[in-house]
Amino acid sequence: MTGAAPTVRTEIGADGVALVTLDRPERHNAIDPATAARLADVWRGFRHDAAVRAVVLTGAGDRAFCTGIDRSADVPQPPSPYSVDDPLLTVGPKAADLWKPVVAAVGGMACGGAFYLLGESEFVVASENAVFFDPHTSYGMVSAYEAVHLAQRMPFGEAARLALMGTAERLSARRAYETGLVSELTPPGGAVPAALRAAAVLASYPTEAVQGTVRALWAAKEATRERAFALAPHLISLGNRPAADQARLFTARSRAYRTR
């Protein structure tokens, strides 16, 4: 009897670059608990693997990079407003104490919990067909961790608009580039090759110097991030609608949106 197919694929090149691919294209690369655990294992493994000196993170298929938490997954919550169980808190490389540089390559949709991954990457390369949005408010949910990541990547007004407008708007790859969320635009299908080229440069340098620089960059914003993250569980507990209401809003969501 064969086991389930892996939901995260890893390929390590001779140049020291690891390509990590979320491999659930039939679910728009949404993250279920098993995928979250696998991502955490991958990052921890890279800490001890001297053959890996830089990483490119992407999603399988051309429809989505990642659409956040898989809404079909059951994530029980403790009956306390002081506790929130969020399986996405451990999916990013920095949560695993990995300081080797990570470049995200985005094609198609990147929304909701995808910002946990984009927020913990050093920079983002996107195809022109990429779009970014955060549906939380439309479904009666607080965008807490996602909003923190966005606010550390973009001008405040742009981050606020993206976090608050929900499913009514999608941010085009061009606008994401103009506002700093994306560092390089490519033709459709070109994000992964461009990210691999950049990562190969990073992998060619002495890894101690590169990792030290990554750590220094993150130190510049760590205090703000830590304070905001400490507040996030309470905002989620207070502001989220009950699960049944969220499901109703999700089912009844409008398919109309504006791309800007």
Tell me the per-residue pLDDT of 178-225, one tens digit each, with 9 for 90 and over: 999 999 999 999 999 999 999 999 999 999 999 999 999 999 988 898
pLDDT in tens, 120-137: 999 999 999 999 999 999
The rounded distance, in Å, linking the Cα atoms of 61 and 30 is 12
Mean pLDDT confidence for 167-180: 97
Q: Which residue ranges make up each domain of the chain?
A: 1-70+85-188+206-260
- Domain 1-70+85-188+206-260 falls under CATH 3.90.1150.10: no
- Angstrom distance (rounded) from CA 129 to CA 132: 10
More confident position, 197 or 253: 197
90 and 71 in contact (C-beta within 8 Å)? no
Distance (Å, whole) CA 100 – CA 46: 8
Dist. CA 15–CA 201, nearest whole Å: 9
Q: How many CB atoms lie within 10 A of CB 36?
A: 24
235 pLDDT higher than 50: yes
The CB density around residue 209, as the number of other CB atoms within 10 Å, is 9
- Whether residue 82 has pLDDT greater than 80: no
pTM strictly above 0.75? yes
